[in-house]
Homo-oligomer: A and B are copies of this chain.
Amino acid sequence: MPSSPKPDLRIGLAGLGTVGIGVVKIIQRHADLIAARTGRRVVITAVSARDRTKTRDADLSGYAWETDPVALARRDDVDVFVEVMGGHEGPARLATEAAIAAGKDVVTANKALLAHHGHSLALAAEAAGRVIRFEAAVAGGIPVIKALTEGLAGNRITRVMGVMNGSCNYILTRMQNEGLSYAEVFAAAQALGYLEADPNLDVGGIDAGHKLSLLAAIAFGTEVSFDAVELEGIGAVSIDDIKLAADMGYRIKLLGVAQMTGRGLEQRMTPCLVPADSPLGQLQGGTNMVVLEGDSVGQIVLRGPGAGEGPTASAVMADVIDLARGLRLPTFGQPATGLTRPVAAKTATPAPYYLRMTLLDKPGALAKIATALGEAGVSIDQMRQYGHEGVNAPVLIVTHKATRDDIDHAVGLFAGTGVLVGAPVVLRIEAV
């Protein structure tokens, strides 16, 4: 006896850029496959975008058109509001709120929106009995939200790490492989259209920081707390540091790290050194990688495309198909009312640090630096002085584990030695 067919799941799609068109293509191309997997048809009923006249790489003639995404979100023939417009205020926020108020589930690729308003949106969705799904908001096609929320749900999560901005990793690996300066590769990446209209979202670490804050909320059962993410972009990473780090067996990555410590929640998105032979160290180009660590599972590494039409649309569709299958979870994996407000750790977990500095070529210069480190309680693991032709000597120090406070203290003492030229470069070495 066949069960009665389930009704169609009706999508209202807001945003017809790269990702939106990718979603249209999958729904059109794989209608039967999706029906086999979900037991029902997934259909688009209406779409919206700013400009109706623009030429787009998909047949939209079967869909109702709304110029206003808020109107789209409220349509009676929409069950799931799919938001792929972007922007953390304005239409994306208004339409998402309207969708929830109108009793729709929401699927979004919008990391900025959730990083800024995720908690209030989750509370609103919960009160309305609706869910917000956002697989596409973090690490593109990698199903990392699902892996963390469901796949590792039996674990206390101990640490989440990741390279989650492909543009930054593209820039850093091209610098490394071709010996080019940051400015050169940045210009090339911009010319290739690899960077956001406001490139600081990428190279300033903001986009990746948004993603990290969402993973941290799920991992630690806390309210999203993007403002507490320590952010440092890659603009100051020099080719000299990339080369010297490589010389010592490291790679420089814009690495996100979130962990719950006795001092509170630590969230960092900063350039770090990682071992060259680790999965993170080996990651080349625009690919993303997320590392999840749990008390039972140990370490899981997920690698894949972090952006682009197909991968991001794949992630959007994973959420849509979950909803079509009746798989429904609270936004951050547990009821938003039960999430705790995190206390931000004021200092990072101790780690080894990489220090690069230039010293005047005077007798005793290195001894003065070593003494300053000792005074600050920082011990030295490796030190290299490089050959030089001028009056200044490049010096590289890798410390044993130290607090950032002690490192900063040491750097402060360096100033008083009178042997330092310019400011030292300080980079954290993350154990991965």
Listed in ascending order, the chain A residues whose CB lies under 8 Å from chain B are: 22, 26, 30, 33-34, 36-39, 135, 141-143, 146-147, 150-156, 221, 277, 279, 282, 294-305, 308, 310-311, 313-318, 320-322, 325-329, 333-335, 338
Give CA–CA (A134, B51) in the complex, Å.
47
Which 3 A-B pairs rank lowest in CB-CB distance, beginning with the nearest? A143-B151, A154-B317, A297-B314
Across the interface, A279 reaches (CB within 8 A) one of B135, B279, B305, B321, namely B279
* B154 pairs with A34, CB closer than 8 A: yes
Give CA–CA (A335, B282) in the complex, Å.
40
* A296 pairs with B318, CB closer than 8 A: no
* B147 pairs with A300, CB closer than 8 A: no
* B296 pairs with A313, CB closer than 8 A: yes
The closest CB in chain B to the CB of A146 belongs to: B151
* B303 pairs with A297, CB closer than 8 A: no
22 A-B pairs (CB sep. < 8 Å): A33-B156, A36-B221, A37-B334, A135-B151, A141-B300, A143-B146, A143-B147, A143-B300, A147-B147, A150-B318, A152-B314, A153-B321, A154-B321, A155-B314, A294-B314, A296-B310, A297-B304, A297-B315, A300-B304, A301-B301, A301-B304, A327-B329
* A26 pairs with B150, CB closer than 8 A: no
Chain B residues within an 8 Å CB radius of A311: 296-298
The closest CB in chain B to the CB of A326 belongs to: B328
* B39 pairs with A335, CB closer than 8 A: yes
Give CA–CA (A36, B326) in the complex, Å.
21
Q: How many copies does the complex hold?
A: 2
Chain B residues within an 8 Å CB radius of A146: 143, 146-147, 150-151
Across the interface, A310 reaches (CB within 8 A) one of B141, B147, B297, B314, namely B297
A43 to chain B, nearest CB (A): 14
A15 to chain B, nearest CB (A): 17
Chain B residues within an 8 Å CB radius of A325: 329
Chain B residues within an 8 Å CB radius of A315: 151, 297
Given A36-B221, A146-B146, A325-B329, A154:B296 Cβ within 8 A: no
Give CA–CA (A33, B303) in the complex, Å.
28
* A298 pairs with B156, CB closer than 8 A: no
Chain B residues within an 8 Å CB radius of A305: 297-299
Give CA–CA (A131, B299) in the complex, Å.
28
* A150 pairs with B154, CB closer than 8 A: no
A176 to chain B, nearest CB (A): 15
Across the interface, A143 reaches (CB within 8 A) one of B152, B277, B320, B335, namely B152
* B318 pairs with A152, CB closer than 8 A: yes
Most chain B beta carbons < 10 A, residue from A143, A329, A338:
A143
Chain B residues within an 8 Å CB radius of A26: 154-155, 296
Give CA–CA (A26, B208) in the complex, Å.
32
Give CA–CA (A329, B321) in the complex, Å.
12
A404 to chain B, nearest CB (A): 30
A342 to chain B, nearest CB (A): 15
A119 to chain B, nearest CB (A): 16
Give CA–CA (A221, B32) in the complex, Å.
12
Give CA–CA (A38, B333) in the complex, Å.
8
Most chain B beta carbons < 10 A, residue from A38, A142, A147, A296:
A296
* 15 more CB-based (< 8 A) A-B contacts, given A143-B150, A143-B151, A155-B314: A26-B155, A30-B154, A33-B156, A34-B153, A39-B334, A39-B335, A141-B296, A141-B297, A152-B318, A279-B279, A296-B310, A298-B304, A298-B311, A299-B305, A302-B302
Given A30-B154, A154-B317, A322-B150, A142:B300 Cβ within 8 A: yes
The closest CB in chain B to the CB of A339 belongs to: B36
The closest CB in chain B to the CB of A324 belongs to: B153
Chain B residues within an 8 Å CB radius of A143: 146-147, 150-152, 300
